[in-house]
């Protein structure tokens, strides 16, 4: 049963008040998958893993993408097995056998021998908005993974790897028999990273992608440039980064971008680039001040957003968009459009005169003019993505435009905003509740919000029937956790993202759970296991639930 | 001019609202020392550093402690110089010469040749509560560092190293001429770390000590064990950690502790251990349930604090205290005494009867009884430290007892509490404003609180004259930032501590500054430099001020 968010939060907040006890506050589960598969039956039979025995073989179609993924997951299992061996050596043979999962009783079925991967259709080259991520998995002595698409096969391999666990006595690396039939609720499950407020090394971006794949998240939203820095090395305008980056080497070359995109492709993760215009562009002005509007008449007046009447703005933008669309193969392209300093435009004499002549009542109409032109500069195949202001300010938008809702307010307003966008014909991405830079937002708070439920509630409040409300809610494509870069850099970004964004991953993949901490969902205990899993796979994740430990070698 | 904390906070909070601009929000200073020396005059002359030329020589007394510190600081300079060389290679010769500090004009005086260290007194072996940390430093072609004590020499070496900086064009590693006369305002400048809610590897503790020394902080308060785990390997009672730790290898042996204490000694950092009794001891009960009081009559009633009438409690405690006092040479010993579950004791039939027979009106008197006995178990030389509840609950305390104030309330209450303790004859440590686990507390908030000013204000509010108020305030020995371990482990502890605790270090060493962000204090710009300095010296520190960068190789 779904309960309102407030009840869930109360539950979550009540838990720490319980009397302390020795040991972890929330003991971890073992071998539970995050995000939770939609249909999963666990069997009592279990198998040990031996790297000299176990193999993964393809039975249906195959391709380099699948073969390299199989190699990667074989390596995950081997490395976890090695970790178990090192922990076993540390723990000693007799340590901590209380739970005794490793005890080899009647349910023990010997070594797991193989996973057969049965891919039914030819591989696609790039992950895309409509990709099929469904898979079926049966774990037994000879396990089978079936999927129509290579993307489903990747998701199934991740589930398969997560079902293995190190026993609580550190003596064995095992997997229970199970059957799984799984697919995502939302097609767009993303994370925004911001490389303009602080530069992030390419290896951090790759590690973020690794972590996304572990969470079956499928979109890296790359907020590439902003007011503070322009780290993108444009082929046509190299001066933008030469003068607009924090330092000459804190930049992304075309080769860097191709590396990240390829790393993501191999893991079924789309990379959607954002070129945020016409605001958030002050760094363009270090080398090209003429592109920015003066906020006043004086030559010394500070400069603000891109100048919406300046032809050079559109020619520069067109060239940049062409370059970036060549580097980022995904059809979705994020043009930003948030927080445009309309006050600045309203102080600019040329723009004041233009607005007067054209009977514009506010600079919002200049924003509409700008965005209308900018959107036309995208390739015809493009699916434009914009921040909610572009919708709020009345910019005419095509039905293939996706509007990302981000403003903080409250869940009632979020529902209404999303419903308005949907009724206007656009589709929606939701981020408002998932701003990772808001330190007050715990994973429990992020876990308690489901955008489709908010839309359905808003629709019902306006008189829609249950079926109509559900149909409207379907227009929410998904959402993104947002890791804005003001207060994070390579030192702290991973632990600021994980495992809080894990909560978002599960909301977007699985059914919202009946209760956060305990109950059938048991999310806290599963997240305790999952955070440790992340660390064992090289992703720094901070403690989610208070006192405890993650056994690492 | 000192302004009230609220004004300072308003200033700090107002700053991010300023229009964004390309580049770092707060450009860093270069070669400014953190914490700010009390008296420091910078000269226009500057010198370049050449590792093949520069040397540090002792002129007065010397000892292994000093020689190894000199070797360490020579290595700091060499490694920073190497980093400059690598950055120079990345930046190219002509990059970013705008500031041109490296331009070798009339103020350039050639290579710095030497630092002569003139230590006037024989070295002490261990840092202690009354150690002398004053030093004088003159930086010129042949620089001189003068101090009476080896501890002052260590502080002076740190200042000397911090005066060097990589120029903004990455072409040179230089130091300006200057004269410094410096000593701390407070004698106790500490950081609490908690190894019971999450285990911290010994190398993390050593890195924390390295960072303390960079901040001229002189106390590591080691909250060793607690309810959740007992990682200390007792010689006499090895079962306490064998069964009470999170895992058999997540423990501190005597050798581990000696290693940390020696690492700290070499850097002039005291290590004060806390054995928190009679509450926060549930982990003792995993192997020794008989030491804990039942919270009720039934044998199945949960167990709470140590049993205050149980002779085995005192014999066990005596043995543990003897072991720990041998391992931790510092005279201060923290006995805890916070958050005792008095409700539990009040439900225990034996204790109910004892209280009745002895005419006790509340379990507070049992707490007093316990602490009185426990304090007597410390060596006669010991300076006991306790949390504020021990004072608040009326436990009789000797004048050599130090009371640590930690409760959240507000600055008026903090001032009154500290004044009450001082008037009762004890000395005070302050921590309430410096809880690093409170994510809402920015470095600016931590920077705006000075405990002696709170005590003086409280004393004046009760009619004390300015001189009397100042004398009372002198009884505040200092304070500690507190990094409780519930939500931190090795993945995130360093960035959670640094650079927020840097603010505490400066409050405790230097005069409180006139303004946080700008003005004469210019703390934000200095902290921007300092956070990058920490990273260059191997201490992960998160961004303190919003968008920016730290040039690392």
Q: Kindly state whether A285 is in contact with chain B, defined as any CB-CB distance less than 8 angstroms.
A: yes
Q: Is the pTM of this model over 0.80?
A: yes
Residue A499: cis peptide before it, omega within 30 degrees of 0: yes
Question: Model confidence at A101, in pLDDT bands (50, 70, 90)?
Answer: very low
State percent of chain B over pLDDT 90: 90
Query: Helix, strand, or coil here: A391?
Result: helix
- Write down the pLDDT at residue B11: 37
Task: Classify the phi-psi angles of A228: left when phi > 0, otherwise alpha if psi is within -120 to 50, otherwise beta.
Answer: alpha
**Distance separating alpha carbons of residues B145 and B115, to the nearest angstrom:** 7
| pLDDT value for B500 | 98
- Which of B547, B548, B552 is most worth mutating to test chain A (most A CB atoms within 10 A of its CB)? B547
Contact B540 A491 (CB under 8 A): yes
Residue of B nearest to A284 (CA): B22
| pLDDT (0 to 100) of residue B92 | 86
Residues of chain B with C-beta less than 8 angstroms from the C-beta of A207: none
Q: Residue B408's pLDDT is what? A: 84
Q: How far is B20 from chain A (nearest CA, A)?
A: 7
Of the partner residues B21, B494, B549, the one whose CB lies closest to the CB of residue A198:
B549
**Residue carrying the six token digits 């959240």:** B408
3-state DSSP of A266-331? CCCCEEEEEEEECCCCCCHHHHCHHHEEECCCCCCCCEEEECCCCHHHHHHHHHHHHHHHHHCCCC
Nearest by CB to residue B248, choosing from A20, A95, A439, is A95
pLDDT at A168 over 70: yes
A94 touches chain B (CB under 8 A): no
pLDDT in tens, B218-235: 999 999 999 999 999 999
Please determine, for residue B342, whether its predicted confidence score (pLDDT) is greater than 70: yes
Q: How far apart are CA B537 and CA A72, in angstroms?
A: 35
Instruction: Give CA–CA dist A344/A337, Å, rounded.
Output: 15
**Who contacts B157 (Cβ-Cβ below 8 Å, separation ≥6)?**
B56, B69, B70, B73, B117, B145
Q: Is the pLDDT of residue B7 over 60?
A: no
Please write the tens of the pLDDT for every residue from A521-551: 589 999 999 999 999 999 999 999 999 999 9
CA atoms within 13 A on the CB side of A422: 26
Token output for B5: 């904390």
Nearest CA in chain B to A488: B543
Angle at A319 between CA A315 and CA A325, to 5 degrees: 140
Q: Residue B169: its chain A contacts at CB < 8 A? A: none
DSSP strand pairing (A55-58 vs A114-119): parallel
pLDDT in tens, B347-358: 999 999 999 999
Please check whether residue B335 is in contact with residue B385, taking contact to mean a CB–CB distance below 8 angstroms: yes
Joined together, the tokens standing for residue B383 give 């300076």
What is the per-residue pLDDT for A420?
A: 97
Q: Identify the residue among A484, A524, A549 best suited for mutation to test binding to B, counting B beta carbons within 10 A and taking the highest.
A: A549
Using a CB–CB cutoff of 8 Å, tell me whether B547 touches chain A: yes
Which residue among B90, B227, B541 places its CB closest to the CB of A21?
Answer: B227
Specify whether the CB–CB gap between A428 and A479 falls below 8 A: no
Q: Does the pLDDT value for residue A215 go beyond 60? A: yes
DSSP-assigned letters across all residues of A30-97: SS--SSPPSEEEEEEEEEE--TTT-EEEE-SB--HHHHHHHHHHHHHHHHHHHHHHHHHHHH-TTTT-
Chain B: give the shortest CA distance to residue A496, in Å. Answer: 9
Domain B39-182 CATH (choose: 3.40.50.720, 3.30.379.10, 3.30.300.30, 2.60.120.470): 3.30.379.10
d(CA A536, CA A86): 13
B362: left (phi over 0), alpha (psi -120 to 50) or beta: beta
B463: left (phi over 0), alpha (psi -120 to 50) or beta: left
Chain B: residue whose CA lies nearest to A248 = B91
Question: What's chain A's average pLDDT?
Answer: 93
Q: Is the pLDDT of residue B102 over 80?
A: no
Chain A residues whose CB is inside 8 A of the B282 CB are: 20-22
Indicate yes or no: CB of A24 within 8 angstroms of CB of B228. yes
B264 phi and psi angles, rounded to 5 deg: -70, -45
DSSP β-ladder status, A173-182 and A39-48: antiparallel
Cα separation of A36 and A393, whole Å?
39
What are the residue boundaries of the structural domains of chain B, listed by start?
39-182, 188-521
Q: Which among B213, B206, B218 has a CA at the least distance from the CA of B129?
A: B218
**Which segment of A1-10, A118-127, A445-454 scores lowest on mean pLDDT?**
A1-10
> B328 and B316 in contact (C-beta within 8 Å)?
no
Report CB contact under 8 Å: B535, A491: yes
Q: Do you find a cis peptide bond into A214, omega within 30 degrees of 0?
A: no
For B367-426, write each residue's pLDDT tens digit.
999 999 999 999 999 999 999 999 998 999 999 999 999 998 888 899 999 999 999 999
Neighbours of B51 (CB within 10 A): 15
> Catalytic: A511?
no
Residues within 8 A of A (CB atoms), B 425-444 only: 439-440
- The rounded distance, in Å, linking the Cα atoms of B489 and B492 is 6
Per-residue confidence (pLDDT) for residue B88, from 0 to 100 = 96
Q: Give the β-pairing of B270-277 and B332-336.
A: parallel
Residues of A in contact with B22 (CB under 8 A): 227-230, 244, 282-283, 285-286
Pairing of strands B303-306, B292-294: antiparallel
B67 interfaces chain A, CB cutoff of 8 Å:
no
Percent of chain B with pLDDT over 70: 93
**What confidence tier does A103 reach under pLDDT thresholds 50, 70, 90?**
low
Query: What's the average model confidence in pLDDT over A434-458?
Result: 94
Distance from CA of A183 to the nearest CA of B (A): 32
Mean pLDDT score of chain B? 93
Tally of helices (H runs) and strands (E runs) in chain A: 19, 18
Task: Return the pLDDT at B410.
Answer: 85
Domain B188-521: top CATH class: alpha beta
From the list A19, A494, A549, which residue is nearest B247 (CB)? A549
CB B269 within 8 A of CB B219: yes
Instruction: Find the helix packing angle between B451-461 and B411-423, rounded to 10°.
Output: 80
* Dihedral-angle region of residue B529 (phi above 0 means left; psi in -120 to 50 means alpha; beta otherwise): alpha
Query: Topology of domain A224-384, per CATH?
Result: TIM Barrel (3.20.20)
Interchain contact A248–B (C-beta under 8 A)? yes
Contact between B466 and B176 under an 8 Å Cβ cutoff? The reply is: no
In B, residues 287-316, which contact A (CB 8 Å cutoff)? 302
Continuous H helices in B474-522: 493-497, 500-509
Q: Is the pLDDT of residue B513 over 80?
A: no
Q: A18 in contact with B at a CB cutoff of 8 Å?
A: no
Instruction: Check residue B2 and give its pLDDT.
Output: 31
Alpha carbon distance B91, B81 (integer Å): 15
Residues 100-159, chain A: which have Cβ within 8 Å of B? none
Give the number of other CB atoms < 10 A from CB of residue B547.
26
pLDDT at B106: 85
Chain A contact for B540 (CB, 8 A cutoff)? yes
- Phi, psi (rounded to 5 degrees) for B191: -140, 130
Identify the pLDDT of residue A408.
Answer: 84
User: Which pLDDT value is given to residue A377?
Assistant: 98
Residue A314's pLDDT band (cuts 50, 70, 90): very high
E strand or H helix at A144, and its extent?
strand A142-147
pLDDT, mean of residues B112-139: 98
Polymer length of chain B: 553
Active-site position among A67, A124, A206, A339: A339
CA atoms within 13 A on the CB side of B534: 31
> What are φ and ψ of residue A259, in 5° steps?
-65, -45
B166-215 tens-digit pLDDT = 999 999 999 999 999 999 999 999 999 999 999 999 999 999 999 999 99
State the DSSP H helix or E strand holding residue B10, giving kind and residue range, or none if neither: helix B5-14
Element (DSSP H or E) covering residue B152: helix B150-163
Interface mutation target, options A231, A284, A443, A489, chain B, most CBs of B under 10 Å: A489
Structure tokens of B538? Answer: 């191997």
B160 CA: distance to closest CA in chain A (Å): 27
Burial track A368-387 (b if 16+ CB lie within 10 A, e otherwise): bbbbeebbebbeeebbbbbb
Given a contact cutoff of 8 angstroms between Cβ atoms, the answer to whether A319 and A257 are in contact is no
Question: What are the start-end ranges of the H helices in A338-448?
Answer: 342-346, 349-357, 364-376, 388-392, 411-423, 443-447
Rounded alpha-carbon distances, angstroms, from residue A288 to A211, A282, A313, B87: 37, 10, 10, 27
Residues in chain A with CB shorter than 8 Å from the CB of B246 are: 23-24, 548-549
pLDDT one-digit tens code per residue, B50-76 = 999 999 999 999 999 999 999 999 999
Q: What are B13's two structure tokens?
A: 């909070």
Interval B257-287: pLDDT, tens = 999 999 999 999 999 999 999 999 999 999 9
B223 contact residues in A (CB cutoff 8 A):
none
**With contact defined as beta carbons under 8 Å apart, do A305 and A278 qualify?**
yes
**CB-CB: which of B21, B282, B543 is closest to A282?**
B21
What mean pLDDT is predicted for residues B303-308? 98
Q: How far apart, in Å, are the Cα atoms of B279 and each of A17, B9, B321, B539?
A: 16, 36, 16, 34
pLDDT tens for each residue of A186-205: 999 999 999 999 999 999 99
pLDDT for the residue B214: 98
Check pLDDT > 70 for residue A93. Answer: no
Contacts of A20 in chain B (CB under 8 A): 227-228, 280, 282
Q: Which of B139, B134, B146 is nearest to B174 (CA)?
A: B139
**Phi/psi at A443 (nearest 5 deg)?**
-65, -35
Mutate to test the interface with A, among B22, B293, B546 (most CBs of A within 10 A): B22
- Note the pLDDT tens digit of each residue in A475-515: 999 999 999 999 999 999 999 999 999 999 999 999 766 55
Residues sharing a CB contact under 8 Å with residue B432, sequence separation 6 or more, in sequence order: B405, B406, B407, B408, B409, B414
- Which of A161-165, B4-8, B232-236, B451-455 is least confident? B4-8
Please report the pLDDT score of residue A511 as a whole number: 72
Q: Tell me the average pLDDT across A167-196.
A: 97
Interface mutation vs chain B, best among A230, A547, A550, most B CBs within 10 Å: A547
Instruction: Assign B530 a pLDDT band (cuts: 50, 70, 90).
Output: very high
Q: Are the Cβ atoms of A486 and B543 closer than 8 angstroms?
A: yes
Q: Which residues pair with B252 in a beta bridge?
A: B232
- CA–CA gap between residue B208 and residue B206 (Å, rounded): 5
């Amino acid at each position: 049963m779904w309960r309102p968010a407030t009840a869930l939060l109360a539950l979550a907040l009540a838990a720490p008040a319980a009397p302390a006890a020795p040991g972890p506050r929330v003991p971890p589960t073992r071998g539970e998958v995050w995000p939770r598969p939609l249909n999963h039956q666990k069997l009592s039979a279990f198998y040990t893993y031996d790297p000299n025995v176990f193999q993964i073989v393809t039975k249906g179609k195959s391709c380099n993408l699948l073969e390299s993924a199989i190699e990667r997951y074989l390596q995950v299992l081997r490395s976890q097995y090695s970790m178990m061996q090192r922990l076993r050596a540390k723990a000693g043979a007799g340590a901590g056998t209380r739970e005794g999962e490793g005890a080899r009783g009647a349910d023990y079925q010997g070594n797991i021998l193989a996973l057969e991967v049965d891919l039914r259709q030819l591989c696609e080259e790039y992950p895309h908005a409509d990709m099929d991520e469904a898979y079926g998995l049966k774990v037994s002595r000879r396990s089978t993974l079936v999927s129509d698409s290579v993307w489903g096969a990747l998701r199934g391999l991740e589930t398969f790897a997560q079902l293995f666990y190190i026993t609580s006595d550190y003596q064995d690396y095992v997997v229970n028999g199970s059957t799984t039939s799984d697919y995502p609720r939302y097609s767009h499950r993303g994370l925004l990273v911001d490389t303009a407020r602080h530069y992030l090394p390419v290896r951090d971006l790759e590690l973020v992608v690794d972590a996304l794949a572990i969470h079956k998240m499928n979109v890296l939203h790359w907020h590439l440039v902003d007011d503070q820095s322009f780290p993108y090395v444009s082929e046509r305008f190299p001066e933008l980064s030469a003068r607009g980056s924090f330092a000459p080497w804190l930049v992304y070359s075309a080769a860097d971008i191709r590396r990240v995109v390829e790393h993501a492709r191999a893991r079924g993760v789309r990379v959607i680039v954002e070129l945020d215009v016409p605001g958030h562009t002050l760094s363009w002005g270090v080398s090209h001040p003429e592109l920015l509007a003066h906020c006043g008449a004086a030559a010394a007046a500070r400069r603000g957003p891109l100048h919406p009447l300046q032809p050079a703005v559109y020619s520069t933008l067109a060239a940049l968009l062409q370059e970036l669309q060549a580097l980022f193969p995904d059809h979705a392209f994020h043009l930003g459009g948030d927080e445009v300093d309309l006050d600045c435009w309203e102080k600019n004499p040329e723009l004041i005169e233009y607005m007067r002549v054209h009977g514009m009542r506010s600079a919002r109409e200049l924003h509409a003019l700008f965005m209308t032109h900018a959107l036309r500069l995208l390739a015809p195949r493009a699916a434009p993505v914009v921040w909610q202001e572009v919708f709020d300010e009345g910019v005419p938008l095509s039905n293939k435009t996706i509007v990302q809702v981000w403003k903080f307010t409250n869940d009632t307003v979020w529902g209404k905003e999303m419903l308005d966008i949907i009724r206007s014909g656009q589709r929606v991405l939701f981020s408002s509740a998932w701003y990772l830079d808001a330190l007050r937002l715990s994973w429990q708070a992020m876990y308690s919000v489901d955008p489709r439920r908010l839309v359905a509630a808003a629709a019902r409040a306006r008189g829609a029937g249950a079926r109509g409300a559900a149909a409207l809610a379907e227009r929410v494509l998904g959402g993104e956790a947002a890791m804005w870069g003001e207060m994070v850099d390579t030192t702290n970004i991973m632990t600021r993202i994980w495992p809080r964004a894990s909560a978002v991953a599960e909301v977007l993949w699985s059914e919202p759970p009946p209760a956060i901490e305990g109950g059938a969902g048991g999310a806290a205990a599963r997240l305790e296991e999952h955070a440790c899993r992340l660390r064992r796979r090289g992703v720094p994740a901070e403690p989610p639930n208070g006192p405890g430990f993650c056994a690492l070698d």
